[in-house]
């Protein structure tokens, strides 16, 4: 299999038909406990000297298949904004850098390579939230980050029907996390949900191509609209970190944000859409819009929101895979009523 073909990996990574009796789709294993054939093998499996399963919180054939899938897509389990602000923020007790790129909701771009270099020089672990980009558009671990995390609820699942989180890292880091954090504190995905995420991943490449293309077109449309202020999308020529985004991303994903100038205008827009859906999440096949100041960032004080650049009229749109002309028509009619 060509390791450089994301589309092929997305369909076939994680499958083992001999192990699953020829099943084309990985079966859902609902067992919580696994029997041992004898004391010696039981001890070896339980202490992870040899592969095997003994308790589903620490391993399950279905969740294992998902782990193998996301690892291949992110390029791991082999050894493998302004970045200087991270260097300036280092304190004697700093142990971890957290990167979200593109960021939510202003789509700021962090130079992963530069931050990871600063981190490694100072003995700091770098964690990159890759939810918005997905492995199709960006692979943080290959760019130098120690860990990549995903809300699988979003693009990986892709159909607004599951809740999941995934962590990707090198084998030693994953082993440490599994033995410490997961074994002691839980946080285990169910096999049913793992199966749904794997099903979604099979079409991830196809969906992301469409999300990328539609969002780029919508962002350019919004940037040219007289009723729209600033538009935030890494693919736009005027984006402050577009050069960095181009250097580390295949595409710019399906999220854009734009400013309508006031809370009243923002509310009027989200109330006026017909094809688009007013909802808080993102990354599904359907286009979702939300008014940041009264929804995802409503718990912040007005002063805090202003300092973060989240204005009263900020709208975030998760552009879906619908027909582009239909999306443009809906957005245009909603803007015309402001």
State mean pLDDT over 206-227: 98
Q: Is residue 257 part of a domain?
A: yes
Is residue 141 packed enough to be buried (19+ CB in 10 Å), middle (13-18) or exposed (0-12)?
buried
Q: Is residue 33 part of a domain?
A: no
pLDDT at 214 over 90: yes
pLDDT at 310 over 90: yes
Residue 145 pLDDT: 97
What number of other Cβ atoms are within 10 A of residue 11's Cβ?
18
- In this structure, what token pair is assigned to residue 243? 């050069």
The single residue listed with the structure tokens 């973060």 is 308
Give the Cα-Cα-Cα angle 161, 167, 169 (nearest 5 degrees): 150
- In this structure, what token pair is assigned to residue 335? 């803007």
Q: Is residue 147 part of a domain?
A: no
Q: Is residue 144 part of a domain?
A: no
Q: Is residue 241 part of a domain?
A: yes
State mean pLDDT over 93-104: 95
Angstrom distance (rounded) from CA 53 to CA 328 = 51
- In this structure, what token pair is assigned to residue 120? 């490694």
Q: Is residue 12 part of a domain?
A: no
pLDDT at 272 over 90: yes
Band (pLDDT 50/70/90 cuts) for residue 3 is low
Q: Is residue 140 part of a domain?
A: no
Any bridge partners for residue 147, and if so which? 127, 169
* Segment among 158-162, 297-301, 334-338 with least mean pLDDT: 297-301
Mean pLDDT of the chain: 92
pLDDT at 79 over 60: no
At 35, is the secondary structure helix, strand, or coil? coil
Terminus-to-terminus CA distance in the chain, angstroms? Answer: 52
Residue 42 pLDDT: 85
Angstrom distance (rounded) from CA 239 to CA 223 = 11
Domain that residue 310 falls in: 206-336
Q: What is the pLDDT of residues 156-173, one digit of tens each?
A: 999 999 999 999 999 889
The number of distinct structural domains making up the chain is: 1
Can you give the CATH number for the domain in which 218 is found? 3.90.1150.10
The answer to whether the pTM exceeds 0.75 is yes
Buried b (16+ CB within 10 A) or exposed e, 75-106: bbbeeebebeebbeeeeeeeeebebbbbbbbb
Band (pLDDT 50/70/90 cuts) for residue 36 is confident
Q: Is residue 217 part of a domain?
A: yes
- In this structure, what token pair is assigned to residue 42? 């039981």
């Amino acid at each position: 299999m060509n390791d450089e073909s994301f589309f092929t990996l997305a369909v076939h990574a994680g499958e083992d038909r001999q192990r699953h009796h020829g099943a084309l789709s990985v079966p859902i294993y609902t067992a919580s406990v696994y029997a041992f054939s004898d004391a010696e093998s039981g001890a070896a499996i339980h202490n992870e000297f040899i592969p095997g399963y003994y308790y589903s919180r620490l391993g399950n054939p279905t969740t294992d298949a998902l782990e193998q899938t996301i690892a291949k897509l992110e390029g791991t389990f082999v050894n493998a904004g302004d970045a200087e602000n991270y260097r300036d923020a280092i304190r004697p007790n700093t142990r971890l850098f957290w990167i979200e790129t593109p960021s939510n909701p202003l789509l700021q771009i962090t130079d992963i390579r530069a931050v990871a270099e600063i981190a490694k020089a100072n003995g700091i672990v770098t964690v990159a939230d890759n939810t918005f980009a997905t492995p199709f558009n960006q692979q943080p671990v290959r760019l130098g980050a120690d860990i990549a995390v995903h809300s699988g609820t979003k693009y990986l699942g892709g159909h607004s029907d599951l809740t999941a989180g995934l962590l990707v890292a090198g084998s030693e880091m994953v082993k440490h996390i599994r033995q410490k954090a997961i074994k002691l504190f839980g946080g285990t995905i169910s096999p049913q949900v793992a199966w749904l995420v794997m099903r979604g991943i099979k079409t991830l490449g196809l969906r992301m191509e469409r999300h990328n293309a539609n969002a780029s077109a919508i962002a350019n449309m919004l940037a040219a609209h007289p009723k729209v202020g600033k538009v935030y999308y890494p693919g736009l020529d005027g984006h402050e970190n577009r050069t960095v985004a181009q250097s580390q991303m295949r595409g710019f994903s399906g999220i854009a944000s734009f400013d309508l100038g006031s809370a009243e205008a923002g509310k009027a827009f989200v109330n006026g859409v017909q094809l688009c859906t007013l909802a808080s999440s993102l990354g599904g096949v359907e286009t979702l819009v939300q008014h940041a100041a009264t929804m995802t960032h409503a718990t912040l004080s007005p002063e805090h929101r202003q300092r973060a650049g989240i204005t009263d009229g900020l709208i975030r749109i998760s552009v879906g895979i619908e027909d582009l002309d239909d999306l443009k028509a809906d957005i245009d009619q909603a803007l015309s009523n402001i």
